[in-house]
Amino acid sequence: MRCAAALRSVVVATLLTLAGVPLACAGRPARAGDDAGPAAGGRGGAASKPAARAAKTPRDVQLAVPEMPWNGVVASVCFSPDGKTFAAASHDSLATGVDAAVWNLATGKEIARASRTNINHRVNQIAFSSDGKTLLLARNGGNLHLLPVVKAGKAVEVPAHGRHCMALGLSPSRKVTASGGYDGTVRTWSPQGKPLQEFRIDKAYRPDGMAAQSLAVLDDRFIASGHHDHMVRIWDLNTGKLARELPHPNPVSIVHLSGDGELFVTACADRKIRVWKRADYAAVRTLDQFGNGLAGLAALPGSTRFLGIQGGDWFVFDAASGAVTTTGKHPAPDRFWTAVAVHPQGDLAALGDTKGAVHWFSVSADQGLEPIPTPPAGRD
């Protein structure tokens, strides 16, 4: 792990040198205990070497990652479980036909891409398989698309849900991969894309109310799915049955596990965030300061903090205390944030927007975000 991180630091330093960017300006904010180096500027200077903790600096991959191969809204972004690759998908593929792509974070090289085979089968969410070898694409039309990442190949379509495949989730241990569908079903999958279990609501099918719009795999036994009928449902993988229901006042759009695995949060159309204990599903608090509604959430590893996006704003909040620690805005006032992901190491965040661009941020020790320049900034 340390060797791989050190290699990434060398790649970053090389790219920054070629770009003419001073090293002292490119990494994370200085922390106590960092090596000051021989010059007054810390790590700067021709004779200085990266400090021992330089391997933990954010990888300035924007200098290597090419322009997104689409024109419209970024629908979803994600990092692989080992943090070596990054993927993004768009709702709009009319110009190029491509609506999802995967890049190597160390080199910025595109290693896989997917194209929409039906104009109506847009991507709703993407996620890597538990072994990181496959990118899963939840699409309209009901099929789950499996895009090989390690070896180049075309995406394989697997029947998953009735009408639309809407949500994806991966357990903290990486042992369980799950999907949710418009028909209200929740399914688990093997790393190779083979269906394992199906969970179905024991009610008459209602197209306007059953949709599993979001889900979180809480651990290796329980899955929490958010549905359009105002309910969060907890499914037990051991029994194959519904374990519990958590009523909400409106359709549930987001379910997300905290980075330490102790809490999970839900959001619905009343524009509030509800915090729950994972162990017993007890309600912890309700946060009502998010007046514009949430567009997405990402957990910060090893903590109860989340990075959220709404409209043109991003914010970091602590689900345990309810405190909002830092906030920021999109650099372009006419753009909104549409997708968010945090690197497994917790030091890099990727935010997608309405114009097809992905913006990179370094995440500092105090959970603040610092924008990293990302040429090009997307298409207008």
DSSP characters for 59-125? --GGGTS---S-SS-EEEEEE-TTSSEEEEEES--TTTSEEEEEEETTT--EEEEEE-SSTT--EEE
* Residues 322-333 pLDDT 10s: 999 899 999 999
Give the C-alpha separation, 265 to 276, whole Å: 6
Give the C-alpha separation, 40 to 272, whole Å: 48
Residue 124 near residue 118 (C-beta atoms within 8 A): no
156 DSSP β-pair partners:
146
Give the C-alpha separation, 254 to 343, whole Å: 20
Q: Which of 51, 63, 67, 66 is nearest to 18 (CA)?
A: 63
Q: 37 — phi, psi (to 5°)? A: 80, 175
Write down the pLDDT at residue 96: 66
Residue 335, helix vs strand vs coil: coil
Write down the pLDDT at residue 5: 42
147 DSSP β-pair partners:
135
CB atoms within 10 A of CB 247: 9
Q: Which of 90, 78, 91 is nearest to 129 (CA)?
A: 78
Burial 27-39 (b: 16+ CB within 10 A, else e): bbeeeeebeebee
Write down the pLDDT at residue 300: 95
Q: Which two tokens stand for residue 178?
A: 């799950």
Start and end residues for every CATH 2.130.10.10 domain found in the chain: 66-372
Assigned fold of 66-372 = Methylamine Dehydrogenase; Chain H (2.130.10)
The DSSP secondary structure of 24-64, one letter per residue, reads: HHHSPPP-TT----SBTTBT-STT----GGGGGS---GGGT
Write down the pLDDT at residue 108: 81
Give the C-alpha separation, 266 to 272, whole Å: 8
Give the C-alpha separation, 125 to 57, whole Å: 28
Write down the pLDDT at residue 151: 74
Give the C-alpha separation, 212 to 101, whole Å: 25
Write down the pLDDT at residue 365: 67
Residue 239 near residue 221 (C-beta atoms within 8 A): no
Provide the whole-model pTM. Answer: 0.79
Give the C-alpha separation, 76 to 89, whole Å: 5
Write down the pLDDT at residue 197: 94
Write down the pLDDT at residue 302: 94
| Amino acid symbol at 163 | R
Q: Mark the ranges of the chain whose per-residue pLDDT is less than 50.
A: 1-64, 375-380
Write down the pLDDT at residue 61: 42
Write down the pLDDT at residue 130: 85
Task: Calculate the alpha carbon distances from 150 to 64, 178, 315 in Å.
Answer: 19, 21, 34
Q: Which of 186, 259, 264 is nearest to 227 (CA)?
A: 186
Give the C-alpha separation, 188 to 280, whole Å: 23
Write down the pLDDT at residue 297: 95
Write down the pLDDT at residue 154: 76
Residue 228 near residue 210 (C-beta atoms within 8 A): yes
* Residues 170-227 pLDDT 10s: 999 888 999 999 988 999 998 878 889 999 887 655 555 689 999 999 999 999 999 9
